[in-house]
Amino acid sequence: MPSQLPPVNHYLCSSTALCVLEDTGAPKGSDDYTTLVLIHGLGWHSGNFRKLLPLARRSNIRIVLLNRRGYPGALPHSPEELAQLARLASSSSTVEVVQETSAVMADHGRDVYDFLVDFIRRERIPIARGNTGGVVLVGWSLACVWITALLANIASFPVGDVKVVTYVRRVVLYDPSCVLLGYPRPSAFYHPITDPSVPPAELCARFNQWQAGYYTHGDPFKQGPDALETGVPAADTSNTMSRLSVADLANSVYGPPMEPSGSDRLLIEACLTHGTCGDLKDAALYLPGAECDSRTSVWRNVDVRVAWCDRSVWEMRLGSYLLEKELVEAREAGKSPRAVSFMRVKGANHFAHWDMPEKLLKAFLGDA
């Protein structure tokens, strides 16, 4: 499968490690537009969101496609950083290793924060006022961990001339995976990454075929996880991958980070081994009132949304279900998690940004 670089129309932010792959720019004549920043998942760079770009012309929004480290245009990982990830992925969970893995993810959250500071300052983004202006930050799939890492560590990041909290009005977890929220993956449920019969050279293609299908699920709130389809995709809608041209793939797919020695693959293994994903989710969504400093309390007011696609592969549907279930039970137990809204994208699979861009945009920006 192609792993080509996109056209050279991106820039590396001067003070950050991330790359703006595409930017629709400020809508002409508007001083209250909303900036939608999208961060990609595993094995795909943000060129995969390009079908959303034409919608910016019909709305009062600016769309920015952001590439993470290790992907085209962004800062690559150094050999020393890759060696650290490999060591963490293969180490036992000692206190020191757990802390080191958490520190690595805090650095990734800081990458997003530094980008926002840089971009807001550079582009003079309108401040958030109610439902206008400001920034809506979206992490798709694996990038949901970058969102929780940002929220979990926000109080430790410096505040300078740009007070990011006055600009970010919403963060969106777009179709999060259960394991990336800290929930265990059911051993009986199929996943290509854990399938020993998949040759490493074919993993990226098999993974993408699997997650780009349409699946028909029952209601897990009524039947539990057994309501989820964990095997064969439905035949009523074609796999998204079958509708992507060679050019589409060349401008969307980037496989090296998900290879066995790739940065994303090693980072996922480290985070899953040492419980980092669950720790980040808890730190992001549970803020003990007596221990909150003023900065953390202010960030608690930022809207958090989960946009879930009801025909996604089981791993994603299970993630949104378990998170919603956990938050309901937490409130019933007297805990005080953040207010999180859940937006169902009806009829959509994990590639709603490709197959149903208008519907997805409403889930990101519309009222709950």
Could you tell me if residue 8 is inside a domain?
A: no
Q: Which of 210, 201, 211, 208 is nearest to 256 (CA)?
A: 201
Examine residue 1 and state whether it is found in any structural domain, yes or no.
no
- Model pLDDT, residue 205: 85
Residue 165's φ and ψ, nearest 5 degrees, are: -60, -25
pLDDT tens, residue by residue, 71-103: 999 999 999 999 999 999 999 999 999 999 999
Percent of the chain surpassing pLDDT 90: 80
12 in any annotated domain: no
- Domain membership flag for residue 3: no
Check pLDDT > 80 for residue 344. Answer: yes
Query: Is 4 among the domain residues?
Result: no
Contacts of 197 by beta carbon, 8 Å cutoff, 6+ apart: none
Structural tokens at position 331? 């409130």
- Please report which confidence band the pLDDT of residue 290 belongs to, taking 50, 70 and 90 as the band edges: very low
Give yes or no for residue 13 having a pLDDT over 60: no
Residue 293 lies in a domain: yes
On the question of pLDDT at 187 being above 90, the answer is: no
C-alpha 90/C-alpha 271 separation (Å) is: 11
Residue 272 lies in a domain: yes
Residue 107 to residue 101: CA distance in whole angstroms: 10
DSSP for residue 26: P
- In the predicted model, what is the mean pLDDT of residues 181-210? 88
Q: What pLDDT, on the 0 to 100 scale, is given for residue 8?
A: 35
User: Would you say residue 262 has pLDDT above 50?
Assistant: yes
Alpha-carbon distance 215 to 48, whole Å?
21
Amino acid at 142: L
Q: What is the pLDDT of residues 173-182, one digit of tens each?
A: 999 999 999 9
288 band by pLDDT with thresholds 50, 70 and 90: low
Specify if 25 maps to a domain.
yes
Judging by beta carbons within 10 Å of its beta carbon (0-12, 13-18, 19+), is residue 81 exposed, middle or buried? middle
What's the domain range around 202?
17-365
Range 114-129 average pLDDT: 95
Closest listed residue to residue 64, CA positions, set 119, 133, 146: 119
- R_g of the chain, CA atoms, integer Å: 19
Give the pLDDT confidence of 53-72 residue by residue, as tens digits: 999 988 899 999 999 999 99
- CATH code of the domain in which 355 resides: 3.40.50.1820
What's the structural domain count of the chain?
Answer: 1
